[in-house]
């Protein structure tokens, strides 16, 4: 084992707080560090670093822990999903789905009307590309709108205080 590998293993033991453990590996590494000046200096550095970082952490007062738990419980209860949110989202999505035939019909009229109006000036592949670009933009817009429905319902629930 090279000195670099031994120093890496010393680092791992130091992070695990097992540098002075009674394991055979820790004893073998300590024996090597006693004979090797570089590894010995590295081990002494790790021991000094561990001693410098060994700051006792005071225990938290029971009253502070109880107050923090009570506050966390209040916050979690306040953020709990009201029971009617699922039904409200379903109703909003059902109403939005009723508008889909109008959206599809509008898209058909725009694409066919645009093709009819622009057929004299633009070749068919360009018209097809324009129709596809319009459909993609419409699909992204409608998808974003439908994706915002649960957020709108949650905003409404929050504005009404969750009483609906």
All structural domains of the chain with their residue ranges: 3-53, 82-159
> Could you tell me which residues come within 8 angstroms of residue 119 by beta carbon, excluding any fewer than 6 positions away?
127
**Contact indicator for 114, 57 with CB cutoff of 8 Å:** no
pTM of the model: 0.42
Q: How does pLDDT run across 73-124, given as a tens digit for each residue? A: 888 877 766 667 778 888 888 888 888 898 889 999 999 998 999 989 999 8
CB-count burial class (<10 Å; 0-12, 13-18, 19+) for 163: exposed
Q: How does pLDDT run across 15-71, given as a tens digit for each residue? A: 888 877 788 888 888 899 999 999 999 999 988 888 888 777 677 788 888 999 999
CA distance 49 to 30: 17
> Could you tell me which residues come within 8 angstroms of residue 20 by beta carbon, excluding any fewer than 6 positions away?
26, 30, 47
Q: Where are the beta strands (DSSP E) in 48-106?
A: none
């Amino acid at each position: 084992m090279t000195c670099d590998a031994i120093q890496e293993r010393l680092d791992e033991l130091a992070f695990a707080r097992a540098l002075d453990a009674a394991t055979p590996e820790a004893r073998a590494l300590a024996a090597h560090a006693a004979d090797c000046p570089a590894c010995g200096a590295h081990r002494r550095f790790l021991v000094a670093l561990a001693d410098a970082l060994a700051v006792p952490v005071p225990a938290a007062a029971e009253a502070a822990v109880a107050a923090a738990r009570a506050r966390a419980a209040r916050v979690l209860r306040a953020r709990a999903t009201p029971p009617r949110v699922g039904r409200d989202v379903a109703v909003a999505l059902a109403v939005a789905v009723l508008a889909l035939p109008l959206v599809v019909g509008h898209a058909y009229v725009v694409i066919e009307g645009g093709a009819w109006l622009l057929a004299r000036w633009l070749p068919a592949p360009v018209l097809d590309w324009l129709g596809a670009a319009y459909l993609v933009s419409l699909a992204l817009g409608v998808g974003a709108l439908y994706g915002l429905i649960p957020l709108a319902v949650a905003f409404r629930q929050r504005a009404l205080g969750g009483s609906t």
